[in-house]
Structure 1
Amino acid sequence: MNANAFRQFYEYHFSENRKIWDSYVTSLPYGKFIQDAGYSHGSVREQILHLMGVDEVWFNELQGIESSELLTSSNVDDRDIIRSHWDSIEKRMRNFLAELKDDDLFDRPIIEPEEDKELMVWQVLLHVVNHGTDHRAQILRGLNDLGIKTTSQDFIFYLYEHLK
């Protein structure tokens, strides 16, 4: 286990997040963007807010930083605000990962909440990538239910594309 492996997992995570945004969300009619899917966090919008909120909370916990207010429901098309906030979260995550060393993976830096104190950095990093994969799958399912043809987000296909 090494920091470079986690950086690669996160390149996949960021790439797939952007693929969903660029390939589907930007062209999605606003009504479909906020349409309740009837499972998990509901609409594509709420799924995205959850995915990026979890990324932010866990990376903030790893750094001892208090999280900002999560974006709330909106009656207007706020995709530009969401994208800007997501870009900011990704940038902070990239900065953390750029400084990550192999030995850091076994640290237990989380002070609060109590239940997270025993988690090692590598466990949190793996959880966040796995969580992202889960919720992107839910988003893709929701988009499919809205009649939109989607593609796979399998890690192996990312590798085939990026290891050429």
Structure 2
Amino acid sequence: MDANTFRRYYDYHFAENRKTWNDYIKDLPEDLFNKDVNYSQGSVRNQIVHLISVDEAWFSDLRGKGIPDSPDPATLQDKDAIRAYWDSVERFMGEYLETLQDGRLNEKPLKGEDENLILWQVLLHVINHGTDHRAQILRQLNDMGIKTGPQDYVFYLYDNP
């Protein structure tokens, strides 16, 4: 894989995040948005905040800025605040990805317990983590009676050749 391929995968990641937000979450009633479930991160709100904060943590670490404290989802009750946070994290990630070079993909840029992870592995992990939590969100929404759709990469490619 090369840097452009990763940028393409992240275009998909960002697009699916926005699609999930715009199509299903933006207009979700607050009671459903905050409804606690006994699985994974709990509510849809908590799932989203977790997804965003993990993206931020990995990319902060990749940029040598250390891992920031994850926000408490209870302090982000307002969807506008969550969307603003998500937008800022996406911009932060995009800045890193813009400068990504092929020669760095096999480096081990992290320290501590993650010191043996290769950059391309971290980049794939973040995308996979996002797919996992979007799937959990879509399942929660489905269980609430909301019809959801697929998030397959190939469907993204059909729409974005």
The one of 149, 154, 157 equivalent to 2:155 is: 157
Structure 1 residue runs of 5 or longer lacking an equivalent are none
* C-alpha contact (below 8 Å) 2:49/2:73 kept by paired residues: no
Residue 68 of structure 1, CA deviation: 3.3
Cross-structure match for 2:72: 72
Runs of 4+ in 1 over 4 A off after TM superposition: none
SS in 2 for 1:109: coil
Higher relative contact order structure (alpha carbons within 8 Å, sequence separation ≥ 6): 1
Cross-structure match for 1:122: 120
Residue 75 of structure 1, CA deviation: 7.4
Residue 126 of structure 1, CA deviation: 0.3
Residue 17 of structure 1, CA deviation: 0.2
The one of 129, 141, 158 equivalent to 1:143 is: 141
Cross-structure match for 1:85: 85
Structure 2 residue runs of 5 or longer lacking an equivalent are none
Matches within 5 A, 1:1-20: 1-20=1-20
Residue 76 of structure 1, CA deviation: 7.7
* C-alpha contact (below 8 Å) 2:60/2:68 kept by paired residues: no
Residue type of the alignment partner of 1:104: R
Evaluate the alpha carbon distance shift between residue 85 and residue 126 of structure 1 in structure 2; reply closer, same or farther with a 3 A threshold: same
SS in 1 for 2:149: coil
